[in-house]
Amino acid sequence: MKSWERQIRLYSGLVLAAYIIPHMLNHALGVFSIDWMESMRQTLSPFWDSFIPKYLLYMSFTVHFIMALYRLYQRRSLKMPTWEWVQTIFGLSIVPLLVGHAIATRGAAEIGGLDPNYWYVLTGTSLKIAYLFKMPLLIIVVWVHLVFGLHFWLRLQSWYLNSLSIWLILSVSIPVLSLCGYLSSLWRVFEYHEDPNFVADVFAEWRAMDEEHQVLIPTLESKFLLGISFMLAVVFAARVFRSWRVKRRSLLNIEHANGRVIAVEQGQTLLEAVRQAGIAHASVCGGRARCTTCRVRVGVGKEYLPEPGSLESAALARIGAEKNVRLACQLRPLQNLAITPLIDPNNGVIRAFSTDSLQGTEQEVVCMFVDMRGSTRMGEQILPYDVVYILNQFFNELSVALIDTSGHYAQFAGDGLMALYGLREEGMQKGSRDALFGAQEMFRRLDLLNKRIKPEFDITIQMGIGIHAGTAIVGRMGPPQSPLLTAIGDNINIAARLESMTKIEGCDVIVSLDAITASGFSNQSLSRVTLDVRGRAEGIEVVKLMRDELSDFLNP
């Protein structure tokens, strides 16, 4: 999906959500009384009846539906995950379920100046058997479509997943309360039917409208339904016509790494073609270029690849992908290709968001890399078992420093480690401060370690530290039997490269200006420099510090 399409669907959907959620809560007040429902409606109505919000709502609904039809036409295959089928079918069902209710309320208000209060709506519903079933069904269909849309928009955000239980409770309780309120209030209206003047009094405003409006409004529902049916028929006819044209042309062949050859229509995405062929393929974000789990390496035919769009380019740049690595959800082949999927669909999608296996969420985090200097030379000077002893002592001191400063030991490799700060809900400021104090504490403990081992082994350990703050994918990764909570991404790579540059720059610590700024400490006294970091076109603004300078900065 192109960026502009995704943005239009997202923003129009958010406008509709802003209307639907309070509307559902308004229904829930029917548990207490119809007057309570009406009181809240009168509180909300002035906003939605004002010029800009009203026409923004109408436009959002129209655009959202048209974009859904356009998306349906764009699909070269109707094979999609179950959740996407549910969201699509429910979304298309909303309009025929809603149109009668919308015309009787909003339509009557716009055409005849009628005030569609809850007594009018509930009484009208009670008089039509079909609406007794359509309205509860409409509540369920609208809410499921809304919740699916919000969930698959937010599911890569750490703050959302950290409070998922709360959102789950709300996503279930709101429609249940709305249905209970609707049914309770409807039951009260049925009781009022015993009064012979009740219906006449409720519809007095309707009878006061112009006769031509009374005749026109009831005919609009069938006209709108006919128009919607025509639009759907056009979409499916266009799909059939496109398929007929494609069959008359030669199809492209995609050689899959599993040995199968897949026929691809021109204009069809690689992900659609693979799924149409019944081959499982990873895609956490559902084909929206918000992740890179569907990426493939292109072998034969890579020279014929079309240029990636802005969304795909940004996603691939974040992982430093090679030129022959592309996103299957965005790639529309122009020539025959040979592809190799890079993510196992069984481990990349099915387990991606389970609580007992591999997870990954976008999160702002502070990353620290620590590396021991001269470990190779140390191995030449002392016995191997002594090296193991010293390394264990070194990592023990670093581990204690991390615990004391709220850091997380993410992983180690040889004589270095990676640590993460700011994983909890305290925010980036505390995470950045903790990382700086963590570096200070590590140097303090390293001095204590050197005092112990210097007399025994006649060596002194030195180390370098790199610190950077930014957004990364944080989650449990690694072998399914023993996954680790760690992080990956461009900002993690930057922290690692800053640490490696401490040797070149002749300093103990290199901290990115992003991390210093996030900490909230005044950096006016610090001298900044811009370093060229391998793998990045632009330099990174950093602060270079010796351990004493770090201590003076943190303890002025």
Q: What is the pLDDT of residue 352?
A: 38
- Among 46-60, 190-204, 302-316, 409-423, top mean pLDDT goes to 46-60
List the beta bridge partners of residue 464: 371
Q: What is the pLDDT of residue 298?
A: 86
Q: What is the pLDDT of residue 247?
A: 62
For the ranges 86-100, 236-250, 314-328, 509-523, the lowest mean pLDDT is seen at 236-250
Rounded Cα gap, residues 123 and 193, in angstroms: 9
Reported as a single tens digit per residue, the pLDDT across 72-82 is 887 766 777 77
Going by pLDDT thresholds of 50, 70 and 90, the confidence category of residue 5 is: confident
| Start-end of CATH 1.20.1300 domains in the chain | 3-242
For the ranges 33-47, 73-87, 111-125, the lowest mean pLDDT is seen at 73-87
Going by pLDDT thresholds of 50, 70 and 90, the confidence category of residue 325 is: confident
C-beta atoms surrounding 264 within 10 Å: 23
> Which CA distances in Å does 95 have to 131, 314, 321?
14, 36, 43
Q: What is the pLDDT of residue 322?
A: 76
Rounded Cα gap, residues 486 and 408, in angstroms: 9
* Domain 361-554 -> CATH class: alpha beta
CATH code, 252-348? 3.10.20.30
List the beta bridge partners of residue 530: 541
Going by pLDDT thresholds of 50, 70 and 90, the confidence category of residue 374 is: confident
Rounded Cα gap, residues 513 and 508, in angstroms: 16
| Start-end of CATH 3.10.20.30 domains in the chain | 252-348
Q: What is the pLDDT of residue 370?
A: 93
Tell me the CATH architecture of domain 3-242. Up-down Bundle (1.20)
| Start-end of CATH 3.30.70.1230 domains in the chain | 361-554
SS (H, E, C) 438-471: HHHHHHHHHHHHHHHHHHHHCCCCEEEEEEEEEE
pLDDT of 350 over the 50 cut: no
- Among 107-111, 149-153, 341-345, 433-437, top mean pLDDT goes to 433-437
Reported as a single tens digit per residue, the pLDDT across 252-274 is 788 887 778 887 777 778 888 88
Going by pLDDT thresholds of 50, 70 and 90, the confidence category of residue 357 is: very low
Going by pLDDT thresholds of 50, 70 and 90, the confidence category of residue 535 is: low
Reported as a single tens digit per residue, the pLDDT across 479-520 is 655 667 788 877 888 898 899 889 888 899 999 999 998 888
Average pLDDT, the chain: 84
Q: Under the phi-then-psi rule, with left for phi > 0, alpha for psi from -120 to 50, and beta for the rest, what region is 406?
A: left
C-beta atoms surrounding 197 within 10 Å: 7
